[in-house]
Amino acid sequence: MTSLTITPHANNFGARIEGLDLAAGLNADEVAELRAAWIDHQVIYLPNQPLQHDQLERFTRCFGEHGNDPYVKAIDGHQHILEVRREADEEVAPFGSGWHSDWSFQSEPPAATILHAKVVPPHGGDTLYADCFRAFEALDPGFAAELETLMTVHSARLPYSHEGYIKTGSDKRKGMKILPNDNAWDTQLHPLIRTHPESGRKALWVNPVYTIGIDAMQESEAQALLAKLFEHLLQPEFIYTHHWSADMLTMWDNRSALHCAQGGYDGYQRIMHRTTVAGTAPA
Ligand code: SIN
């Protein structure tokens, strides 16, 4: 029995969690309950949790090893914490403002991402989440069975190759240092329909930032199918709009949700600290 209060959203996608003090640390029962809530609700958020860097790292390790976070310079002395920062006078689109599942181009992409709000603008700066479970479950069963035979091609090239770095304006970022690299041209195959390793639920697992093709399918056919799947997955009925407050910690499941950072706060600073939890190869 723990002191956790879990308030799920009406459709179960997303839940607010109260009754814990993350800075004080968690016991095994609390970690188990939080883990179950994260898998069940896909996006969980805990308001009013001021945390130092080492406390954020300790919270992250309650759920597994740190993930491998490339292409962005980490906080000095804390290689596992990225600062997602946009200055008040920044003109470039917010970091993460295309729909994606974090680092899906890796062979073992992170299971979780944890984002801790440090400076929140008075308006804008929401994060949108898309529910890959319900998007899969809403597909026509015959079409879904066909999709289950397909493998997709993922790559970091659009944002993180040298070419992508310039095209996306990352060379003009003020708040963050992006580190483009030729490795971004590498490709990784993943199943188009992914089975969640812990719950066994199936997810429509494609995203427009990193999914660049479909294995063994002609380019124009693959791009047409991907466009159709993105349109399906990003329908309003599958989206949750998350509003932030300072010191809120949010943790999402990259295996069952996509996310997308929003702008709308020009003239104000926004600062978040981000860690990831290592995952397994999608299957
Ligand atoms: C991210 O994609 O990790 C950033 C999300 C956000 O800043 O809202």
**Residue 261 alpha carbon to ligand 1 centre in Å:** 5
Q: Residue 209: what pLDDT?
A: 98
52 pLDDT band, cuts 50/70/90, is very high
Reply yes or no on whether the pLDDT at 213 is more than 80: yes
**Residue 220 alpha carbon to ligand 1 centre in Å:** 30
CB 57 within 8 A of CB 270: no
Q: Residue 50: what pLDDT?
A: 98
**Residue 229 alpha carbon to ligand 1 centre in Å:** 22
Residue 242: closest CA among 89, 126, 85: 126
Reply yes or no on whether the pLDDT at 1 is more than 80: no
Q: Give the chain's mean pLDDT.
A: 97
d(CA 47, CA 116): 10
Q: Which residues of 2-32 are buried (b: 16+ CB within 10 A; e: fewer)?
A: eebebeeeeeebbbebeebebeeebeeebee
* Cα-to-chain-centroid distance, residue 180: 20
The token pair at 48 is: 């009013």
Percent of the chain with pLDDT over 90: 99
Ligand 1 atom with minimal separation from the 100 CA = 2
CB 242 within 8 A of CB 44: no
Mutational test site, ligand 1, from 115, 253, 258, 276, max ligand atoms within 8 Å of CB: 115
* pLDDT average, residue stretch 194-214: 98
d(CA 4, CA 247): 18
Q: Kindly report the protein residue whose alpha carbon is nearest to atom 1 of ligand 1.
A: 96
d(CA 137, CA 148): 13
2 pLDDT band, cuts 50/70/90, is confident
Q: Residue 3: what pLDDT?
A: 84
Digit-coded pLDDT (tens) for 133-162: 999 999 999 999 999 999 999 999 999 999
Reply yes or no on whether the pLDDT at 83 is more than 70: yes
Percent of the chain with pLDDT over 70: 100
Q: Catalytic residue numbers?
A: 100, 102, 259, 274
Reply yes or no on whether the pLDDT at 12 is more than 90: yes
* pLDDT average, residue stretch 37-43: 98
Domains and CATH numbers, the chain: 5-277 (3.60.130.10)
Q: Kindly report the protein residue whose alpha carbon is nearest to atom 5 of ligand 1.
A: 261
Mutational test site, ligand 1, from 127, 249, 269, max ligand atoms within 8 Å of CB: 127
Ligand 1 atom with minimal separation from the 125 CA = 8
* pLDDT average, residue stretch 176-201: 97
273 pLDDT band, cuts 50/70/90, is very high
d(CA 257, CA 41): 10
d(CA 7, CA 41): 10
* pLDDT average, residue stretch 95-101: 97
Is ligand 1 within 6 A of the CB of residue 112?
no
* pLDDT average, residue stretch 89-100: 97
* pLDDT average, residue stretch 177-206: 97
**Residue 121 alpha carbon to ligand 1 centre in Å:** 14
